[in-house]
Structure 1
């Protein structure tokens, strides 16, 4: 069994200074570590595209509330996508996600590099004397963080190096307006619309003028950052007794609304976040993880489960206790892998729509990809990528999509973190290309991507409507960062744009080709121990892009170390590492168990004089 060592025995490493473009949530004041001396500081390295980072916000809030005078949380926003480096976009994200602590804007990843962060999210704990005492990757660290802070407070209270004080947080001016960062929209039969008013935690029914309100549902405590909407088929509405489903993302639930009353009914999810692999079960007894969108496909509801990089299916019954959920596609591994649904990889699926040919279209946001699912005559579901190459490539470029499944033909079209897909009357797909501020169009017949509209602020979804006078189709687009819906024409001849290609700008990790020893550090929190009652409670999954980079060491196995062999003659690539470790409360009659997990995508540069070891922290202290 592994236990947490005494803090006094750890090597003392001075925390680097906090350097960035500017500070947010401080009333215009710049902060330094010297300003925070005497208190425990938790640095939260995040980027606003990352669903796991959003989970960490929820984990940190009770920790901040528990130690209001002795603990300071500082967000360090270190962007992945180009759009995430824009000052206005960072400000909007801090407001959108109700970040109530100081945030350092770190667009050049200066502080990220100084603390050797390799993944979003990463937490670094600094003690009251200014020394780094822990680095924690991924999510699920809330309880362990509480015990670590308590240990530090006890130690530094005894040493006389602890001081209390008011938080340096200064609340910004709130955004006025009827909507606040709306997420998704659905058109109703009478020409009106439903929209998720995400930051107000409500669903709003708007008249056809997309401004006049007819009704609201939810509110804080009832819904939490609702996203996707689904108007059920008429026969299903009659069978079930409700009309609309809502992806209640932060509550990790799917709920139902009737257009004739104010009730919000839970139809799937326990309210707890899914933290381990599951095959599904009774819908009301199964934890979910950040459901982001919904679609009706082949007689069941498909749920884009952004938090675990999967698609699930929900089979509804008039008796809610008889409804069931199950995994439809995805392994929980983050990335792009096509083929059989059971072995496919997704990356934060965020938008769903069903095509006129029965195909299920998917906006896979973290890989900047447009993908689809089809069911063959044999009943098997196949996943195909049409646009997008991986977690680190993006841009605004019109052009061709990929060749058919199994082809090595890679198209030149690029997207940047799309959140929505909408099927147009001709069977083509409008993509809400969120971080490019554009609506794009993919034509599956010609395999071409073009641009319908630009100059939008984070469009996240769209619905089709038909002009009553002209009969022409147009889009009602959710312009999320402008807090409104707007109408966009669908031109017969789409624009063509080449805004260039981009890659995530993170410093690569140097390694030598040949044998490399990979180790993942994991020290359970105080009072917990590795749960080895049923064997080794760890799992390590390793792969690479390109696949030829990794000659040995690929695959899944127990243990937190792995001997790899990297190919000669390949200059750069990406190493994908996924890890899980289970720990349980020690010396407890009814011990609670906790799953710790993280995915890394580590850009590599292979050089002869590089190191032959790679050390990662799942929970290193």
Structure 2
């Protein structure tokens, strides 16, 4: 669900919180941003809808890089999200490439009368709020509005082009960064989703020796050889039964979370290919059919479950479980209604909330 709301012309309240990330330690004030279009993104890092918006905004930020300043206002919903170290880790893990205001007491949230995660607030170069949108899926509207504001203020002489206050932190020098999942392989090695490095890493049985990396390490969604293929924040993975793997030429299915795809990996060659998803996020419409023709939404984990005859997918983005059948190459809804909640019952009537991890037993899927 999304909603759009327009407001009368009012001055944007100042940004107030505990501190700032991605600014090199500097405080950002709205007065310093006069002449820029400012986009406030009120988010919290355990909200999958907020994570969707982070990725929706990336192309917008790139397109208007000299006139648009995006500022994330982190407004925690849960106690853990208010921890400053947890927030700093989330900003790195999800590659947030704009300044972030840490607002644990929800001061700025309240000053802007925000009611929902996520909420986007657009401020013009003179410091007035011109647009408010709650939910996700607003990027095209925002693109039109930003272009309109840029044109108007360029004509008025109140637009200032140039870089903004974003200062990237120094990169961490660790072999893995935010490993999201691990799968034990038949030869005794381990396949790790190196989430923030957008790749898979095979480790020796000692859990530390790197044997190979699958994926270039750059964010993307290209199929191909191990050194050329790209992922975007890959999550869980699962082995296919040996006979099926041999027939398909794919041994492992990977939840390529931010790409909204399922990817297949041939462990003999390192070759990666797309099995399901279109690369676009499912919002409504058909959710069953040929795998590469049906959009998925933030697949977080996968598990081969024999009773279902396929790969069950934790579809965090719409609070459901999906099922990928490798034999037919099809996907369909397996459980859940897309309504976020907690309700037991038949698979088609149960409610989930941000499904994110799976464990398969002989007769039960956890």
- From 74, 84, 101, the equivalent of 1:87 is 84
Whole-angstrom CA distance in 1 between matches of 2:333 and 2:125? 46
Q: Is 1:77 paired with 2:74?
A: yes
Written as runs of structure 1 = structure 2, the 5 A alignment for 1:422-441 is: none
Q: Is 1:325 paired with 2:331?
A: yes
Preserved CA contact (<8 Å) 2:287 2:295: no
Give the 4+ runs in structure 1 shifted more than 6 A.
none
| Aligned counterpart, 2:96 | 99
Structure with greater Cα Rg: 1
Whole-angstrom CA distance in 2 between matches of 1:278 and 1:116? 36
| Aligned counterpart, 1:355 | 361
Whole-angstrom CA distance in 2 between matches of 1:64 and 1:237? 41
Question: Aligned residue pairs: how many?
Answer: 350
Aligned to 1:154, what secondary structure does the other structure show?
helix
| Aligned counterpart, 2:34 | 37
Q: Which runs of 5+ in 2 are unaligned?
A: 221-229
TM-aligned CA deviation for residue 197 of structure 1: 0.3
Preserved CA contact (<8 Å) 2:337 2:350: yes
| Aligned counterpart, 1:255 | 263
| Aligned counterpart, 2:291 | 283
| Aligned counterpart, 2:341 | 335
Whole-angstrom CA distance in 1 between matches of 2:183 and 2:8? 56
Whole-angstrom CA distance in 2 between matches of 1:267 and 1:229? 13
Aligned to 1:351, what secondary structure does the other structure show?
coil
Residues 182-213 of structure 1: per-residue CA shift (max 9 Å, x gap): 00011122322111001111111111110001
| Aligned counterpart, 1:137 | 134
Written as runs of structure 1 = structure 2, the 5 A alignment for 1:75-224 is: 75-219=72-216, 220=218, 221=220, 222-224=230-232
Structure with the larger helix share? 2
TM-aligned CA deviation for residue 355 of structure 1: 2.5
Q: Is 1:266 paired with 2:274?
A: yes
| Aligned counterpart, 1:307 | 317
Aligned to 1:352, what secondary structure does the other structure show?
coil
TM-aligned CA deviation for residue 12 of structure 1: 1.3
TM-aligned CA deviation for residue 41 of structure 1: 0.5
Residues 537-586 of structure 1: per-residue CA shift (max 9 Å, x gap): xxxxxxxxxxxxxxxxxxxxxxxxxxxxxxxxxxxxxxxxxxxxxxxxxx
TM-aligned CA deviation for residue 261 of structure 1: 0.6
Residues 503-553 of structure 1: per-residue CA shift (max 9 Å, x gap): xxxxxxxxxxxxxxxxxxxxxxxxxxxxxxxxxxxxxxxxxxxxxxxxxxx
TM-aligned CA deviation for residue 58 of structure 1: 1.5
| Aligned counterpart, 1:11 | 8
TM-aligned CA deviation for residue 125 of structure 1: 0.5
TM-score, normalised on structure 2? Answer: 0.92
Whole-angstrom CA distance in 1 between matches of 2:258 and 2:62? 19
TM-aligned CA deviation for residue 15 of structure 1: 0.9
Structure with the larger strand share? 1
| Aligned counterpart, 1:482 | none
Q: Which runs of 5+ in 1 are unaligned?
A: 362-621
Q: Indicate the RMSD between aligned Cα atoms, in angstroms.
A: 1.6
Whole-angstrom CA distance in 2 between matches of 1:76 and 1:279? 33
Preserved CA contact (<8 Å) 2:338 2:351: yes
